[in-house]
A and B are shown apart, each in its own frame.
Chain A
Amino acid sequence: MVSAVLLIQKATPETITQFHDQLSNELPTLRGKWNFNFKIFRNNPYSIPQELAETATVAPESKWLYTLSPSYLSDSSISLINGKSVGVFTNLIKEEAGEHGHSVELSIPNSHLHKGATTDLNDPFDFFVAQKLQSLWTQRQLIRGDGGRIYELENGNLTIRTSNVFLHGNFRGLLVQIEINQNLCNVDDVSSFASTFETIRNKYGIPAGDLSCEVLDPKRLDTYADLIYQYSKILNF
C-alpha cells in the first residue's frame, strides 16, 4: 500500500457533506467508521547529552516523537522518532486475535508469549512513554480524528479514509487518507507519487489542501513508516 495524507483546513460542513455525497455516487464499499489519536511528544529539555552535561542546563536541540493509533489497526500504534526511525507496537497476541473472530493486520506471534518474552499485558506505546519515559519525552499535543468513514473503491485497490481533525476540541480541518495498491503507481519512482495522487484527487473531487505523499526512505517503502511520516508533516499546527 502506498499512502498519501491530505488535510483540508478550509473545510466547512457544506463542503464535507458535498464531498461525502460525491464519493457515495462512485458506489464505494463502505468499510465502517474509524477514528485516530495522534500524539506529539517533545524531548524533555532537562535530559542533556552526556558530553554537554557539565556545561548546559537544557538540551540544545528539540526532538519530536509522534504516535499514531488509528482504530482500524486494533490495539496497535505506530511511532516515529525524530523523523528517523519508526516502530510499530501492538498488544494483540495472534491466537487471541483469532478469538475475536476478525482478521487483524498486526499481531504478536504466539511463540513470543509462550517462550516467556511478554506477559501479554502490554500497554499502548504512547501510555508507556507517558508513564515511564517522562525524563526523556513530554507530551505536547493530542490531535484527535473523529467521525471518520472508510470508502473502498476500484475493487479494493483504492481506500479513502476521511476524518474530522480536532486539536484541543477545536475543529482544524478534514483529513483525507488515500491508500492505493502498489501496482497502481510506480513504486520505483517516489517523485511520481505526487502526480498519481493529484490524478486521484481530481477524479474523486477531493477538495484541495495540504497533501503529503513523502516517504521516509525512497529506496525502501514501508506502509506504516510512510503513513506516520505523512501524518507528522500534515498535522503540524
Chain B
Amino acid sequence: MVHQLSLVSSIAHGSYVQTVSTLQAFTGMLSPQPIATYTLLTKPHEVFKPKFEPGKVNQIEQYYMKCITTWSDGSEFDLASAVIKENGSSNVFSGRLFHAEDESVQRIWTLQISDIPIAGKNQACSAQTIYESTLIHTHTNVKSEENKIDAMDVDLEHKDKSDVKGDTKEKEEDKKEEDKKEEDKKEEDKKEEDKKEEDKKEEEKVEKKNDEVKHSEVNLEDGAETGSGHKDSFLQFLEDLGYETISQYWIKGIRFFHGDIVIEIFKVLVRDDEVTEPKEEGKIALKLLDESNTFQIRTYINIAKSTDIDLINQGTKELLRLQEFLKNLFKLEIPDRMFMDSRVQVRK
C-alpha cells in the first residue's frame, strides 16, 4: 500500500533543456534516471450488480487496473529533441510486446489499483492510496490455440461495448490530460487492431512452425513456442482474474530525486495507427499523445502507510517547499481529483 502525495505540472518543449539544467543543479543529480514504462489499462469484464438491501451500505466498487511493465525503444529516441512527424510517419517505435522474440526474458508486470484522491477544500497536494502487486511469473494450462480464440472473443465483445462506452460517461483513470478521454477512445480502437494483428501473427507463426516440423530441421521456433506460451499466460491470468484490456500507453522520461521527492518529466506515447508499415519488422509505431510536444511533470512522495500522519504532514510540507522553490520554472498544481477516479461507474 502506497500513500502518494503529488503535484503536477507541464512545460513546453522549448523549456526542457533549461528545466533539466535547473533540476540538475537543484538536486545535484547530473545524470537523471531514465524511466520507460508501458501500461495496459484494464477493466473488469463482468458486470457487478450487488443486491441492494435497505439499511445496508454497499461499499464495494469495481476499479480499473493498470498493468505496468518496462519497455525499451532500443533506439535513439531522444527526449530533448521534439518528435515531429515527417511525411506522416513518426520515428518512434516500440518492440512488439507480445511478440515471441521479445519473450526470451520473462516479463514482469505490476498490477496497480488506486483510490480516488482524498477530497477536501484545504488540500495542499493530491493524496491518494495506491495498491500494487508485482507478478514475476505466470503459467497456464490453457493451450495457446484455445487461448487465441479466447483473446479474440474478448476483443469482439469489447468492440460491441466500445460503442456503448461513448454514451455512458465512464471515467478513465487519468493522470495526464483532460483531452485524454477522447484519446482513450482512439486508443481502444488501436488496441483492438493491435490485438488482431498479433493474433494474425500468431497464426502465421503456427503455420510456419508446422512447416518446420515437416522439414524436421533444427527447431529454432522452439524458443518462440514457449515464448508464446508465456505471452498467453499473462493475458490468460488477467482474464481469469476478471479483467480485460481496454487501452495502452507508453511513458518515456527522466526523473530526479530530491530528498524524498521524486520529480518526473515525461512524455506519453500512444500507438500510431496511420503508420501501416513500420520501418522495422515486429515493431509498433508510436506517436505522442500530445503532439504539441509538451512535457508532463509529476512530483510525488510515496509513504508506506496511509496512517502515518507525521510522515504525511512532513511530506506535504516538503512538496509545498518545492512548489515554492520552483515556481518560476513551472507551476506545480493539484491534479483534478475527478480525473484520477479509477472506479468503474455502475450502470443503472
Contacts and interface: CB of A to CB of B under 8 A. Distances in A.
B47 A86 contact: no
A63 B36 CA distance: 36
A199 interface: no
A47 B240 contact: no
A107 B264 CA distance: 25
B46 A106 contact: no
Contact of B132 (A83, A107, A118, A136): A118
Contact of A117 (B1, B37, B161, B241): B37
A136 B35 contact: no
Interface residues of B, number: 56
Q: Which of B35, B65, B132, B264 has the most CB of A within 10 A?
A: B132
Contact of A119 (B35, B130, B240): B130
B140 interface: yes
A86 B36 CA distance: 27
Q: Which of A43, A115, A128, A216 has the most CB of B within 10 A?
A: A115
B240 A82 contact: yes
A112 B136 CA distance: 10
B311 interface: no
Interface string B95-124: 000000000000010110100000000000
B62 A87 contact: no
A224 B139 contact: yes
Interface in A51-107: 53, 57, 59, 63, 65, 81-91, 106-107
A82 to B, nearest CB: 5
A50 B47 contact: yes
B139 A225 contact: yes
Contacts of B46: 47-50, 59, 136
Contacts of B33: 114
Contact of B138 (A87, A123, A137): A87
A227 B279 CA distance: 45
B36 A116 contact: yes
Given A46-B49, A50-B45, A108-B108, A121 B302 contact: yes
A111 interface: yes
Nearest to A229: B141
A148 B35 CA distance: 43
B132 A121 contact: yes
B249 to A, nearest CB: 13
Contacts of B237: 81, 85-87
A10 to B, nearest CB: 32
Contact of B139 (A50, A65, A86, A89): A86
Contacts of B28: none
B206 interface: no
- Interface secondary structure of A, over-half rule: loop
B44 A85 contact: no
Interface in B67-81: 68-70
Contact of A112 (B108, B138, B142): B108
- Interface secondary structure of B, over-half rule: strand
Interface in A16-59: 43-44, 46-50, 53, 57, 59
B84 to A, nearest CB: 26
A100 to B, nearest CB: 17
Contact of A85 (B61, B62, B140, B251): B140
A15 interface: no
Q: Which of A90, A107, A132 has the most CB of B within 10 A?
A: A132
A118 B4 CA distance: 13
B6 to A, nearest CB: 12
Q: Which of A43, A59, A90 has the most CB of B within 10 A?
A: A90
Nearest to B105: A109
B255 interface: yes
Q: Which of A107, A134, A137 has the most CB of B within 10 A?
A: A134
Interface string B286-307: 0000000000000000101000
A209 interface: no
Given A131-B131, A132-B63, A135-B61, A90 B110 contact: no
A133 interface: yes
Nearest to A125: B133
Nearest to A111: B70
A127 B2 CA distance: 13
Contacts of A116: 35-37, 70, 251, 255, 264
B34 to A, nearest CB: 7
Contact of A44 (B48, B142, B161, B304): B48
B233 interface: yes
B133 A124 contact: yes
Given A48-B49, A85-B142, 11 more contacts: A47-B44, A84-B140, A84-B142, A115-B36, A118-B110, A121-B304, A125-B133, A128-B131, A135-B62, A220-B226, A220-B229
Q: Nearest 10 CB-CB pairs, A to B? A: A116-B35, A217-B141, A88-B137, A81-B240, A53-B47, A225-B139, A85-B140, A136-B242, A47-B46, A128-B133
17 contacts: A46-B51, A53-B49, A57-B49, A84-B141, A85-B141, A86-B139, A112-B69, A115-B70, A117-B70, A118-B134, A121-B2, A123-B131, A128-B133, A132-B65, A136-B46, A217-B140, A220-B139
